[in-house]
Structure 1
Amino acid sequence: MNQAQPQRGQFFLLQPDTTRGGRGHGVVFENVKTLRTLPRMILRPASGGFPTLSEAPRLVHSPEQGDPPQDLEGGISGYWMVSERLQRVLSQVDPDGFAFVAADYRLSDDKKGPPYYLCDVIRELDALDEASSKLTIELSDEFPAGKFYDLTGGSSLIFRRDAVGAAHVFRTPYSGRLVFCDRHLRDAIMDAGMGTEKETYGVWFTDAADI
């Protein structure tokens, strides 16, 4: 039986740009200890989405910590931090794929900054064609789902279109917090001036067929 061929230009790894140089963002999550639920060390629940919040997440830019945030930043207690214009694109293209909470974003002088949101990708699809993809699949009871997709060392991922359906963004049960999107969402972000094949404004796309 012939294996499916790589779907170049069809699906992409979507992530914040961690290679842009500089100090990175200097955003401090001031009230995370008030909002999180112990014993969890981050706000995001293990099941994803947002817990009930007693107040808005307070995010403050500290120049001593780093640069102002771009359109997409990661590492905010398990969430992405997204600008208003990126939030608008994501929610318009795939409203069921994302969850958002408006943040109280402040500048270093405590003045209100531009609108930002915490964002989580809440759709999970077991859509990878494992037999046709090139990757390392680790099996162990130590993994929450019993296996893990290791993409280091070069990978080529092929997704089953019948499993993806009309979704434009998703995670898989076996790839941790990695997020995948289709060309439609990628093009919408690029058309809004926030992404290229490489990176701008903190948005980074990598072709899933050639990771």
Structure 2
Amino acid sequence: MSNSLLALVLLDTPATPDMAALAKALRARHPELATEVAEHGDAQQAQANSSLIRCGNELVAVMSMPAPIPDDLGLWSRASTTWPQAKAAAARHRGHLIVSVLGQNQRPLPAARLTTAVIGALIATVPECCAVVWNGKVARSADLWLDMSSRSFAPYPDYPSSLWVDILPFRSKTGIGAVTMGLSAFAEREIEFETHKLTLPTLVNKVDGLAVYLVEHGLVVKDGDTFGRDSRERFQRGRQRGYWLEDESILPPYRVFRLPASTAPARFVFDKSAGSSPIDLEPYYGWWLISGRTKAVLEWLDPEAFVFVQCTVRVPHGSYDGPDYWLCDVVRVLDALDEAQSRLTIRTEDDPRSLKFGKKVYLTMLGSKLRLQSAKRISFVWLIARLTSYAIKT
């Protein structure tokens, strides 16, 4: 389990979970997950005192330890900023459970989803549970875990990433900032964001949105990528990005992943002295920043599938004479999956808060396989090739 995410479920008094009851609770909470109690012989690497549960093609170990975890003052101080009873829970616990997906080189997000689902079922069946410590970095209450773990397999961005990643605000010389704790398990590093203009709730909302994006996609931020309006309000890796939105208040908040067509024109600043200019298609927060010729390709491909918001561009000196740019949102998705040749869970979204309410959704986890329908796969590859060739020409 050395390469796996590790979760510790704190117990007021030592207890050994009933694995049959745990499997029953998992099936009730997540009917799409095939669950059964596994024999120890199914995994030679499991220790003799491990209890195993099989979830789909994966094995999860649940080990009962009749002792408290080592004290970590920093962990519980961080937790107490949002959970006032955190230090008391840490002080009174007398045992804990270790929960982890077995196997080497597990992909972080599917392993986190599965581990979270198992922990939720543990809390539902073991009344002694009082807290959860995620990967040694984030501590949350058992009640919060019981509630949020029900969304373990929800589609992006609705899964419970805040159980895995903490966001810590701080004061800096230029204003305020926030840094993540726990994101490195998914994206290889933590991120830090500083601002002198945003309010603290807006700042935390931005960092949360970027964090969950990196949890989903991994380390996709390249050298030179910058998020924010200027050098004092940034998430930066390497050299800076030379363009930014002047007024971000025109955009919907993070986790509201629809861009209304009625959005006011987006005012951008392009400054080559600050960094690189955008290419024909750039991820920009939850959407795309695209050039006029990329817009033409997308409209030719499927004119009803996208929403476009025009951008105005100014430069620090003189007048802008480059291509037109647009913010773009995808509002219709082509169901191109060959379900017969794929291995995954298919269900109907029943959460009325979701944008996909009442629609078919695909749930992937460890061992899933996706295959596109052949004709649509060719169209997809052609589109990517066209967009890539445009980017190379820029």
What TM-score, normalized to structure 2?
Answer: 0.31
Contact 1:86 1:189 in 2 (8 A): no
Of 11, 28, 32, which residue of structure 1 is paired with 2:248? Answer: 32
**Residue of 262, 266, 270 corresponding to 1:52:** 262
How big is each residue's C-alpha offset from its partner over 1:114-172, in whole Å with a ceiling of 9 and x where there is no partner?
21111111113555455632458899988935876447x786312468xx9xxx7xxxx
Q: 1:150 to 1:189 in 2, by over 3 A?
A: closer
In structure 2, runs of 5+ residues without a counterpart are 1-218, 226-240
**Does 2:313 align with 1:105?**
yes
RMSD of Structure 2 on Structure 1 (CA): 4.2
- Kept in 2, the 8 Å contact 1:27–1:69? The answer is yes
The residue that corresponds to 1:89 in the other structure is 297
Q: Give the counterpart letter for 1:59 in structure 2.
A: F
1:36-57 CA distance string (max 9 Å, x none): 3xxx524x944x242523x311
Pairwise mapping of residues 122-161 of structure 1 onto structure 2 (< 5 A)?
Answer: 122-125=331-334, 128-130=337-339, 132-134=341-343, 144=354, 149-150=363-364, 156-159=369-372
Q: What is the letter of the counterpart of residue 223 of structure 2?
A: G
Q: 1:131 to 1:183 in 2, by over 3 A?
A: closer
Cα distance in 2 for partners of 1:96, 1:160 equals 21
Change (3 A) 1:79 1:133: same
Change (3 A) 1:189 1:109: farther
Larger radius of gyration: 2
The change in CA–CA distance for 1:110 and 1:80 in structure 2 (over 3 A counts) is farther
Task: State the 1:19 CA deviation.
Answer: 5.4
From the superposition, tell whether residues 183 and 159 of structure 1 become closer, same or farther in structure 2 (CA, over 3 Å).
closer
The match for 1:12 is none
Structure 1, unaligned runs of 5 or more: 1-17, 169-181, 203-211
* C-alpha separation in 2, matches of 1:132 and 1:86: 32
Is this contact kept in 1: 2:261–2:307, CA < 8 A?
Answer: no
What letter matches 2:245 in structure 1? Answer: F
Distance 2:299 2:291 in 1: 12
Instruction: Tell me what 1:22 maps to.
Output: 223
After superposition, the Cα gap between the structure-2 partners of 1:22 and 1:139, relative to the gap in structure 1 and judged at 3 Å, is same
**Structure 2 match to 1:61:** 270
Q: State how far apart, in whole Å, the 2-side matches of 1:127 and 1:133 are.
A: 11
Shift in Å at residue 65 of structure 1? 5.4
Deviation of 1:104 (Å): 0.5
Quote how far apart the aligned CAs of 1:91 are.
0.9
Percent of aligned pairs sharing the same letter = 30
Q: In the alignment, is residue 190 of structure 1 matched against residue 385 of structure 2?
A: yes
Are 2:290 and 2:326, in contact at CA under 8 Å, matched by a contact in 1?
yes
Describe the shift of the 1:116–1:131 C-alpha distance in structure 2 as closer, same or farther (beyond 3 A): same
Residue 175 of structure 1: aligned partner: none
Aligned length: 155
